[in-house]
Amino acid sequence: MRNTSFFLFITLFLNLTAVAQQPDPTAPDHWDASWIGPCNTSLKRYGVFLFRKEFTLSDKPQSFIVHLSADNRYQLFVNGKSVILGPQRADPAHWRYETIDLAPFLQNGKNVLAAWVWNQGEQAAWAQLSQQTGLLIQGHSKTEAVVNTNHSWRVIENMAYTPLANVNHIVGPFDQVFAQRYPWGWEQPTFADEQWLPACETERPVPFDSAEKASRKLTPRNIPLLEERQQRFARIRRADGIKVNMAFLEGNEAINIPTWSTVTLLIDQDSLTTAYPELLVSGGRGAKITATYAEALFDTKSGQKGNRNDVTNKRIRGDYDVFLLDGEAKRLYRPLWYRTFRYVELTIENHQNPLTIHDYSSRFTAYPFVEKASFFSSDSSLASMWRVGWRTARLCANETYMDCPYYEQLQYIGDTRIQALISLYVSGDDRLMRNAIQQFADSQIPEGLTSSRYPSNVHQVIPPFSLFWITMIHDYWMHRRDDAFVKSYLNQIQEVVQFYEKYVNKQGMLDKMPYWNFVDWPNEWPWKGQEELSGIPAGALDGNSAILTLQYVLALRQAAALLTAYGEKTEAIRYAQLANKLSQDTYQLCWDSSRQQLADTPAKTEYSQHANVLAVLADAIPKVQQAALLQRIVADKTIIQCTIYYRFYLNQAFLKAGLGSQYIGMLTPWKQMLSLGLTTFAERPEPTRSDCHAWSASPVYDFLATVCGIKPAAPGFRRVRVNPQLGSLTWVSGSVSHSLGLIEVKFSQKNGVLTADIKLPATLTGELVWNNKRVKLHDGSQHLVVK
């Protein structure tokens, strides 16, 4: 919630973020400022606290650099203008601070810095770690030291906010705002703060590289500020109690709410989004406005979502904010945290005072990925799949990657591995991937495993996800020339491997494993109300799981490649030998010669696509048998099927076995989601909880890596292999973001003859592969015809 001056200036935000995205010129030599907070109150509880600092400058400065952070969140205003939100989400041992030049917003004479700091307290989002409420600002030099946080700052608690513990408690509290309690205009230079109390200095800042022990250590932000831009709602689908024109949604016409009435507006964004809704109102003292947010509507009888475009006989069900009006003019209400929605229902309960709603819109926010890659083909429906997949990937990326933006907002390794590949191919931006790899490394427990999701204040360990963390590092190694970064994780990779090695049994498979050995969400492995029993295959609880063992084999082979690359050949050889033994023993124990499939356990009572997919990816199945095996498991509907998540690995197995041309024919689950009106891809087949789930965006990667066939042929993407898999398509064109520039391709096929136009960035070379023929590629443009 902000006053009207904020509403006028917020449009400057995109221009301002560029200032803060510049690298920290130098980290502070030492921290002279103090963490500050309110005095005589618990710093662990929920609260929204307002801080102000007045100071005088003799001249408008050319530069005025400050470093700043807060716990949990902050927004900084300079002379009434919104400048920056933060800090980047992390953990106390790696607490992030931002660096920004405030000079563009300062003036000679009186200046005011104002910041709100929000601590979610006991109701904190699971992804929000915290030490205690605090604000920290330090000037970079003696000139800027006038704004250092200390007891000269003033503070007050904003008593307008009450947290709402909604059903979706994992993402933290929603807002109930009492406008009469709000100190309107608090961020403006003209506001009188004489009644505010001096802040208390609560702790000394400690930099990350300090040997001093501290519960919270500071390190610079390592990703850019989030994108934020205004967007309008598309349609009003229902209006009860009032007639509303389209001009209202366009921002060109206000609506007047009758006295003693209840009005309900069902508003459709037309596609799922992540945004800060903004509601501008006047009057209506004592009125109550409830904003309910949902990915989809639910049928009043069946309770199912059905087609996401339909609203007939459907109702909204979701989390909500409540605004209690004070009757004054031009009040702007904006939640403290962004909301995820396609539909918003405004319920307006007005009483005896006139109420005017001037405008309702939102400001989109997400990690600022730029879509540099492209994909087009002879099948126009794939364009929709690309667009929806990229939207899915974007909404699942914020200050971390996230599994889903509505329900959890947690960075899981299983989801992140797929997301990171999409990011690399489409945007070329690897900063969020690097951050994720580091955060998972930071989460490692003494036993050697990483947390399954991080940052998170609710601890969870999924051992297979630790193996996918190794896979993520292997992915990064193949796509980026960054030896120092990759090499820094070799010891932790070996600790994950060694954890698993303790559970290798005499039969040559993994014994019973601790923690939650989640694999996928097929109907046969449902949620059972307890993590350790849900989404797991046969053998996960009592040992000898082919799936778990073969994923370990795959990770061993990838770890061996990394160790070999960095000179640790002795251990690499041992890993390779262990992988060979485990894969051979698993094959001998679990291969069913009568079915010509790999069973999930030596007991051969359960069969899944998953075990056979991993057998191909880990080369536990002889190469000459891999293609036929994969054809059998997709034809056999009696075995457990891969759902949307694990179909990524099914598709990778098909490509590895030389069956990549069948990929286009395997997109039925995504086509079904599009037919149901989804504007992002879901967590699993219907009925699904989440309508937007990161792991389901994999076609965006596969259109480029499989269909266009663009993959690294050497670590660091130093060479490229282009092996197109057009399948039923007559032509495709695409481009991939490479660290040297765009890789651009265009293919057409007729009667087995491929016509190719390929353009590689300067100094990049490689090969084109088609029908087992290999043609060398040079940098620059080339036109080829291959029979």
Give ∠ CA 660-664-668 in degrees, rounded to 5.
125
Produce one character per residue of 615-628: b if its CB has 16 or more CB atoms within 10 Å, e if not: bbbbbbbeeeebbe
pLDDT > 70 in the chain, percent: 97
Position 131: which residue type?
Q
Question: CB-hemisphere CA count at 13 Å for 159?
Answer: 3
SS3 labels along 207-239: ECCCCCCCCCCEEECCCCCCEEEEECCCEEEEE
- Residue identified by tokens 């989440």 is 690
Question: Would you state the structure tokens that stand for residue 346, as one six-digit string?
Answer: 């405004």
Q: Tell me the per-residue pLDDT of 610-647, one tens digit each, with 9 for 90 and over.
A: 999 999 999 999 999 999 999 999 999 999 999 999 99
From CA 746, how far away is CA 387, in angstroms rounded?
Answer: 19
Distances (CA, A) of 370 to 113, 190, 424, 702: 32, 39, 11, 19
Residue 555 makes CB contacts below 8 A (sequence gap 6+) with: 467, 468, 470, 471, 496, 497, 500
Q: What is the Cα–Cα distance from 359 to 124, expressed in whole angstroms?
A: 30
Q: What is the pLDDT of residues 465-499, one digit of tens each?
A: 999 999 999 999 999 999 999 999 999 999 999 99
- Cβ burial of 635 (10 Å; 0-12, 13-18, 19+) is exposed
Distances (CA, A) of 40 to 43, 115, 151, 199, 767: 9, 20, 14, 10, 69
Mean pLDDT score, 63-77? 97
Give me the sign of the Cα torsion angle 96, 101, 105, 109.
positive
Of the candidates 576, 562, 572, the one whose C-alpha atom is nearest the C-alpha of residue 716 is 562
DSSP assignment, residue 412?
B
The 8 Å CB, 24+ separation contacts for 498-506 are 498/448, 499/447, 499/448, 499/449, 499/463, 499/466, 500/463, 500/467, 500/552, 500/555, 501/578, 504/578, 504/582, 505/543, 505/544
- Residues 81, 83, 87, 88, CA torsion sign: positive
What confidence tier does 166 reach under pLDDT thresholds 50, 70, 90? confident
pLDDT at 1: 45
**Residue 62: phi, psi to the nearest 5?**
-80, -30
* pLDDT at 167 (0 to 100): 66
Tokens found for residue 562? 């990394």
SS3 133: coil
Q: Which tens digits make up the pLDDT trace of 717-758?
A: 999 999 999 999 999 999 999 999 999 999 999 999 999 999
pLDDT over 60 (residue 4): no
Measured between alpha carbons, how far is 4 from 332 in angstroms, rounded to an integer? 6
Q: How confident is the model at residue 424 (pLDDT cuts 50, 70, 90)?
A: very high
Phi-psi region of 270 (alpha: psi -120 to 50; beta: other; left: phi over 0): left
The reported pLDDT for the residue numbered 28 is 81
Q: How confident is the model at residue 17 (pLDDT cuts 50, 70, 90)?
A: very low
Q: How far is CA 272 from the centre of its chain?
A: 15
Cα-Cα-Cα-Cα dihedral sign, residues 717, 722, 728, 731: positive
At residue 15, the pLDDT reads 36
Mean pLDDT of the chain: 95
Angle, to 10 degrees, between the axis of helix 623-635 and the axis of helix 609-617? 160
Q: How far is CA 28 from CA 18, 66, 220, 283, 700, in A?
A: 21, 10, 10, 48, 41
Residue 761 has pLDDT above 80, yes or no: yes
Q: Where are the alpha helices (DSSP H) in 526-566?
A: 546-565
Q: How many CB atoms lie within 10 A of CB 702?
A: 26
Amino acid in the structure at residue 587: Y
Q: What is the mean pLDDT of residues 362-377?
A: 98
Distance separating alpha carbons of residues 229 and 249, to the nearest angstrom: 16
d(CA 301, CA 396): 31
CA angle 74, 79, 85 (to 5 degrees): 20
Residues 440, 472: Cα–Cα separation, whole Å: 11
Residue 262 identity (one-letter amino acid): T
**What pLDDT does 30 receive?**
83
| pLDDT per residue as tens digits for the range 92-122 | 999 999 999 999 999 999 999 999 999 999 9
* HSE-up (13 A, CA, CB side) for residue 684: 15
Q: Residues 150-157: what's their mean pLDDT? A: 98
What's the whole-number mean pLDDT along residues 12-41?
Answer: 66
Average pLDDT over residues 164-175: 86
The two tokens of residue 482 are 């960054």
Of 111, 78, 80, 76, nearest to 5 (Cα)?
Answer: 80
Length of the chain: 787
By DSSP bridging, strand 773-777 and strand 765-770 are: antiparallel
Cα distance between residue 496 and residue 513, in whole Å: 13
Reported confidence tier of residue 411, pLDDT bands at 50, 70, 90: very high
The Cα diameter of the chain in Å comes to: 88
**Quick check: helix, strand or coil at residue 93?**
helix
pLDDT band at 25 (very low <50, low <70, confident <90, very high): low
643: left (phi over 0), alpha (psi -120 to 50) or beta: beta
- Domains of the chain, each with CATH number or no CATH: 4-171+181-223 (2.60.120.260), 228-366 (2.60.120.260), 385-707 (1.50.10.10), 731-786 (no CATH)
pLDDT of residue 211: 87
